Amino acid sequence: MSPRDDIPNLRGQDGEGSVQVHQDADMKIEGAKVFSVYGKGGIGKSTTSSNLSAAFAAMGKRVLQIGCDPKHDSTFTLTGQLQPTVIDILKSVDFHAEELRPEDFVTVGWGGVKCVEAGGPPAGTGCGGYVVGQTVKLLKQHHMLDDADVVIFDVLGDVVCGGFAAPLQHADRALIVTANDFDSIYAMNRIIAAVQAKSANYKVRLAGCVANRSKDTDEVDRYCDVVGFNRIAHMPDIDAIRRSRLKKKTLFEMELDEEVQMVRDIYTGLAQHLWNGTDPLAPAPMEDRDIFELLGFD
CATH number of the domain residue 162 falls in = 3.40.50.300
Residue 101 and residue 133 in contact, taking contact as beta carbons nearer than 8 Å: no
Please name every residue paired with 63 in a beta bridge, in sequence order, or none if there are none.
150
pLDDT at 272 over 50: yes
- The answer as to whether 7 is a domain residue is no
Candidates 40, 61, 114, 249; catalytic one: 40
Residues 58-73: tens digit of each pLDDT:
999 999 999 988 788 8
Of 162 and 92, more confident: 92
What's the rounded Cα separation, in Å, for the pair 139 and 116?
9
Where in the sequence is the domain holding 242, given as residue range(s)?
A: 31-294
For the question of residue 40 being annotated catalytic, the response is yes
Q: Is 41 annotated as a binding residue?
A: no
- The answer as to whether 22 is a domain residue is no
Q: What is the mean pLDDT of residues 139-145?
A: 82
Residues 94-137: tens digit of each pLDDT:
877 788 888 888 999 999 999 999 887 666 666 666 777 778 88
pLDDT of residue 76: 94
How much of the chain, in percent, has pLDDT values that exceed 90?
55
pLDDT of residue 9: 43
3-state secondary structure of 157: coil
Helix axes 182-198, 218-227, angle to 10 degrees: 30
- The answer as to whether 11 is a domain residue is no
Candidates 14, 69, 154, 158; catalytic one: 158
Please name every residue paired with 33 in a beta bridge, in sequence order, or none if there are none.
150
Q: Is 190 annotated as a binding residue?
A: no
Q: In what order do the strands lie in the sheet with 231-235?
A: 107-108, 114-117, 63-68, 150-155, 33-39, 173-178, 205-212, 231-235
Q: Is 115 annotated as a binding residue?
A: no
Among 71, 94, 65, which residue's Cα sits nearest to residue 84?
A: 71
Q: What is the mean pLDDT of residues 277-297?
A: 89
pLDDT at 30 over 80: no
- The answer as to whether 65 is a domain residue is yes
- The answer as to whether 117 is a domain residue is yes
- What band does 226 get if pLDDT is binned at 50, 70 and 90? very high
Candidates 28, 71, 140, 203; catalytic one: 71
- The answer as to whether 17 is a domain residue is no
- The answer as to whether 2 is a domain residue is no
For the question of residue 198 being annotated catalytic, the response is no
End-to-end CA, the chain:
59
Domains: count for the chain: 1
Q: What is the mean pLDDT of residues 240-253?
A: 93
- The answer as to whether 133 is a domain residue is yes
Residues 171-222: tens digit of each pLDDT:
899 999 999 999 999 999 999 998 998 888 889 999 999 999 899 999 999 9
Q: Is 87 annotated as a binding residue?
A: no
Of 237 and 266, more confident: 266
Residue type, 60: G
pTM score, whole prediction:
0.88
Candidates 14, 33, 45, 61; catalytic one: 45
Q: Is 230 annotated as a binding residue?
A: no
What's the rounded Cα separation, in Å, for the pair 8 and 20?
9
Q: Which residues of 244-256 are buried (b: 16+ CB within 10 A; e: fewer)?
A: bbeeebbbbbbee
Of 275 and 13, more confident: 275
Residues 67-103: tens digit of each pLDDT:
988 788 899 999 999 898 888 888 888 877 788 888 8
